[in-house]
């Protein structure tokens, strides 16, 4: 019998001694035969009970299946005794379940809290737990968000030069915005393919767990009892909170419909902001464009405070004003540039309008998508791209027929540059930016993008040799303004 399944000999030996007279002994080979018979009997009953459960299309063998198997195997004389034993087991389980339920409810009963008060307490405990762990975890999230912001600033400034080059080739800002934003749709198949893979893995894991589970559950009335979670409430003794209260905890994943509704609200503001920004590049410099766009930080902060997404602090407001002062100084220095494009005032106004729309959809994202753990950015941006493509396609067609845009006549080079701009400046950078909004908040994310200001100045210095470099006062104003921008950002981020 070595290597084969067998019943424990010590247990069977105990049973044999209980039924034999004290002066009777049993030979070892006879005892081995008894063990073999008992093992064979258990396997026979188990196999028959499995057949009974399969006929009933059940995946779990119940006590009723075992009793039916004994009946079919011809052991009906044991039915009465087994039924009585089964009843005793059920009664014992019920009593034990009631005792466990009573002991678990003791804390809640002593607290005298209603269910609404328990939910409020649980939420408070979750908030305190997040506060206790906000040191390392919060710092890590903040660091990741700031890295995302820096990457977005780099991509946006480089993309500004690319947009100017594309528009110089004759591509309409409307067509550029439409194509770039529609590229967000590539996230939809990626998201749903990822969901299918995850569901397949979960199904495999579930089947594996079911196949490995060999437990035969008895009827247990306590299995349907309400479960409780013990929590250590500050200033009081241990309390029992119903498990359904735990379901009221934050970070509930948004449904597909909720994500679509969020995209439906954000998509128009998003397109307006992008369109105004791209049109402004045709009438103003990259430096002025990126500088004035960064003033949206004030709009964002005011709107966030008005909607109670952020607490108002004088220090944060002062840091934002320092940042805006820096951008104003850089703007004045850039205004001395003799090569500034005509009509730059109109371009600057478009940038400001873009900043207002930016503040609107930034705060909307923070309100609708809640936090980084509850929202799928892939699904959200996929819906934004699909809505952009579907709703604005008739407008693009009308402009094409009116010969206001010429999408069909685009050269391969312009089309490649446009797609490249869309993939990096929209699909990648906007995904990182939206993640940053949820990680560090709308105001910090917006002010953080003011890093575009010194970055744009640096790129102008390296690649365009701006006229302000020839003027000592303009150069000093530019450097001081860029320094203030960075100081304001760090003041808000700290």
Q: Check whether residue 381 and residue 300 sit in a common domain.
A: yes
Q: Check whether residue 299 and residue 420 sit in a common domain.
A: yes
What's the predicted TM-score (pTM) here? 0.57
Q: Check whether residue 48 and residue 188 sit in a common domain.
A: no
Question: Regarding beta strands 228-232 and 238-242, do their DSSP bridges make them parallel or antiparallel, or are they unpaired?
Answer: antiparallel
pLDDT for residue 218: 42
Q: Check whether residue 320 and residue 418 sit in a common domain.
A: yes
| Structure tokens that stand for 101 in this block | 């339920």
Contact 323, 356 (CB under 8 A): no
Range of the domain at 375: 142-200+253-493
In the block, tokens 């459960």 appear at 53
Contact 169, 411 (CB under 8 A): yes
Q: Check whether residue 67 and residue 157 sit in a common domain.
A: no
Q: Check whether residue 56 and residue 149 sit in a common domain.
A: no
Q: Can you name the residues that pair with 240 across neighbouring β-strands?
A: 230
- Tell me if 369 is assigned to some domain: yes
- Tell me if 128 is assigned to some domain: no
What mean pLDDT is predicted for residues 265-274?
90
In the block, tokens 């026979």 appear at 44
Residue 405 burial class via C-beta count within 10 angstroms: exposed 0-12, middle 13-18, buried 19 and up = buried
| Structure tokens that stand for 399 in this block | 């402009």
Q: Which of 108, 129, 151 is the last residue of a domain?
A: 108
H-helix or E-strand containing 230? Answer: strand 228-232
Nearest in space to 168 (alpha carbons), one of 492, 462, 417, 465: 417
Q: Check whether residue 259 and residue 365 sit in a common domain.
A: yes
- Tell me if 165 is assigned to some domain: yes
Q: Can you name the residues that pair with 230 across neighbouring β-strands?
A: 240
pLDDT for residue 1: 44
Task: Please say if the pLDDT value at position 85 is more than 70.
Answer: yes
Q: How far apart are CA 28 and CA 151, in angstroms?
A: 79
Q: Check whether residue 314 and residue 165 sit in a common domain.
A: yes
Q: Which of 64, 87, 108 is the last residue of a domain?
A: 108
pLDDT for residue 94: 66
Q: Check whether residue 175 and residue 259 sit in a common domain.
A: yes
Mean pLDDT of all residues belonging to the chain: 75
pLDDT for residue 267: 92
Q: How far apart are CA 150 and CA 144, in angstroms?
A: 10
Which tens digit of pLDDT belongs to each residue from 228-252? 444 444 444 444 444 444 444 444 5
- Tell me if 241 is assigned to some domain: no
Q: Check whether residue 353 and residue 456 sit in a common domain.
A: yes
**Phi and psi angles of residue 375, each rounded to the nearest 5 degrees, phi first:** -115, 145
Q: Which of 87, 108, 129 is the last residue of a domain?
A: 108
- Tell me if 428 is assigned to some domain: yes
| Structure tokens that stand for 493 in this block | 């981020």
What mean pLDDT is predicted for residues 387-402?
91
Question: How many CA atoms lie within 13 Å of 345's alpha carbon, on the beta-carbon side?
Answer: 0
pLDDT for residue 228: 44
Contact 145, 439 (CB under 8 A): yes
Percent of the chain with pLDDT over 90: 7
- Tell me if 2 is assigned to some domain: no
Report the b/e string of 357-389 with b at 16+ CB within 10 A. bbbbbbbbbbebbbebeebbbbbbbbbbbbbbb
Task: Please say if the pLDDT value at position 288 is more than 80.
Answer: no
Q: Check whether residue 170 and residue 298 sit in a common domain.
A: yes
> How many distinct structural domains can be found in the chain?
2
Task: Please say if the pLDDT value at position 134 is more than 50.
Answer: no
Q: Check whether residue 308 and residue 420 sit in a common domain.
A: yes
Q: How far apart are CA 337 and CA 8, in angstroms?
A: 94
Contact 379, 319 (CB under 8 A): no
Task: Please say if the pLDDT value at position 209 is more than 70.
Answer: no
Q: How many CB atoms lie within 10 A of CB 202?
A: 10
pLDDT for residue 186: 93
Which tens digit of pLDDT belongs to each residue from 293-350? 767 888 888 888 888 777 788 888 898 888 888 877 877 776 655 444 554 677 778 8
**CATH assignment at residue 39:** 1.10.20.10
Contact 157, 455 (CB under 8 A): yes
- Tell me if 274 is assigned to some domain: yes
In 3-state terms, the chain is what percent helix, strand and coil (to 5)?
A: 75, 0, 20
- Tell me if 210 is assigned to some domain: no
């Amino acid at each position: 019998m070595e290597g084969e399944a067998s019943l424990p000999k010590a247990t069977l030996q105990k049973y044999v001694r209980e039924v034999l007279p004290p002066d009777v002994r049993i030979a070892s080979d006879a005892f081995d035969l008894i063990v073999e018979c008992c093992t064979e009997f258990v396997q026979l009953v188990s196999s028959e009970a499995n057949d009974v459960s399969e006929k009933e299309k059940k995946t779990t063998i119940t006590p009723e299946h075992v009793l039916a198997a004994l009946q079919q195997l011809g052991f009906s004389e044991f039915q009465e005794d087994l039924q009585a034993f089964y009843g005793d087991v059920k009664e014992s389980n019920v009593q034990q379940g009631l005792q466990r339920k009573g002991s678990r409810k003791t804390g809640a009963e002593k607290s005298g809290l209603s269910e609404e008060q328990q939910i409020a307490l649980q939420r408070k405990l979750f908030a305190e737990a997040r506060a206790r762990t906000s040191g390392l975890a919060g710092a890590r999230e903040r660091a990741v968000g700031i890295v995302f912001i820096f990457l977005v600033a780099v991509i946006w400034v480089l993309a500004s030069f690319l947009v100017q080059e594309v528009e110089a080739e004759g591509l309409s800002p409307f067509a550029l915005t439409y194509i770039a934003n529609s590229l967000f749709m590539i996230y939809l198949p990626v998201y749903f393919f990822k969901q299918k893979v995850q569901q397949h893995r979960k199904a495999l894991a579930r089947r594996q767990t079911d196949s490995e589970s060999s437990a035969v559950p008895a009827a247990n009335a306590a299995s349907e009892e309400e479960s409780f979670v013990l929590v250590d409430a500050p200033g009081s003794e241990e309390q029992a909170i119903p498990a359904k209260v735990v379901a009221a905890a934050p970070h509930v994943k948004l449904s597909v419909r909720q994500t679509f509704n969020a995209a439906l609200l954000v998509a128009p503001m998003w397109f307006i902001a992008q369109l105004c920004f791209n049109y402004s590049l045709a009438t103003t410099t990259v430096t002025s464009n990126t500088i004035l766009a960064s003033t949206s930080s004030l709009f964002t902060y005011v709107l966030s405070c008005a909607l109670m997404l952020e607490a108002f602090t004088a220090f944060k407001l002062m840091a934002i004003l320092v940042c805006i002062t820096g951008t104003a100084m850089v703007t004045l220095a850039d205004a001395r540039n003799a090569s500034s494009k005509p009509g730059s005032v109109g371009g600057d106004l478009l940038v400001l309008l873009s900043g207002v729309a930016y503040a609107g959809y930034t705060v909307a994202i923070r309100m609708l998508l809640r936090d980084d753990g509850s929202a799928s950015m892939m699904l959200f941006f996929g819906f934004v791209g699909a809505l952009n493509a579907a709703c604005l396609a008739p407008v693009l067609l009308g402009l094409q027929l009116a010969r206001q845009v010429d999408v069909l006549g685009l050269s391969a080079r312009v089309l490649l540059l446009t797609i490249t701009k869309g993939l990096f400046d929209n699909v990648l950078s906007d995904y990182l930016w939206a993640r940053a909004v949820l990680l560090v908040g709308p105001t910090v994310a917006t002010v953080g993008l003011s890093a575009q200001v010194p970055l744009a100045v640096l790129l102008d210095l390296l690649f365009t040799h701006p006229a302000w470099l020839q003027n000592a006062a303009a150069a000093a104003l530019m450097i001081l303004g860029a320094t203030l921008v960075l100081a304001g950002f760090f003041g808000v981020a700290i």
